[in-house]
Amino acid sequence: MPKIITISREFSSGGRELGKRLAEELGIPCYDRQIIDMVAEKQGLDKAYVANMSEKDIKVFYSSTIGRGFTSYNFGVSQSLLIANAEHNLIKELASKGDCVIIGRAADVVLKEFNPLNLFVYADLESKIKRCKERSEEKEPLSDRKIKNMCRDIDRCRANYREIFSDTKWGRRESYHLCINTSGKEIKKLIPALAAYVNNWFE
């Protein structure tokens, strides 16, 4: 059975880093933001445009069109759904090639038939604020309040995205095989044991 690992994560919990390091430890590819680039290339669309449409909260976007008839909003929704569909087809294509880690994009739902190991990464607010500040320091400093709001909004967006494609809930333990709390931990220290967990899982 191929080792397909999906990573869902709270914003700023270190999920992306965990996914990348885990893939490195296992010696398998990790697909993250490059999914957007690959879709843009396949569809002949601008990368920034695809990235922007991918990050929209489709559910809120969709709700905003109700009662408006066929306005430009509908075009936005259909574009978001088309891009999501292209991303999901690409994710399936990548998974069918063999072992890999896929971060985000509701890959756990999309790849159900591949029997992936689905991980959920989370942390307490204090750790998320710290991590976010460390990452943003080089650009512009963010206030705790701003980061807290980002955590809330981005996670809500992720939950809504999942809800479009599945009845199971984002972040609820029953949707995943292992939920990993990274609060106050160095991600790299968790990797060897997680790699062992993955290997045991697929034995």
Residues in contact with a copy of itself by CB under 8 A are 120, 122, 124, 171, 173-174, 176-181, 183, 185, 189-190, 192-194, 196-197, 199-201, 203
* 180 Ramachandran zone, left/alpha/beta (phi>0; psi -120 to 50): beta
Take residue 158 and report the two structure tokens written for it. Answer: 């992720």
Return the exposure string of 20-52: e unless at least 16 CB atoms fall within 10 Å of the residue's CB, then b. Answer: bbbbeebebebbbeebbebbbeeeebeeeebee
Is 11 or 120 the residue whose CB approaches a copy of itself more closely? 120
Is 83 or 194 the residue whose CB approaches a copy of itself more closely? 194
**CB of residue 193 vs a copy of itself: minimum separation in angstroms?**
4
Is 68 or 188 the residue whose CB approaches a copy of itself more closely? 188
**CB of residue 181 vs a copy of itself: minimum separation in angstroms?**
5
**CB of residue 191 vs a copy of itself: minimum separation in angstroms?**
8
**CB of residue 83 vs a copy of itself: minimum separation in angstroms?**
30
The dihedral over CA atoms of 36, 39, 45, 49, expressed in degrees to the nearest 10, equals -20
CA quadruple 101, 157, 42, 49: dihedral sign:
negative
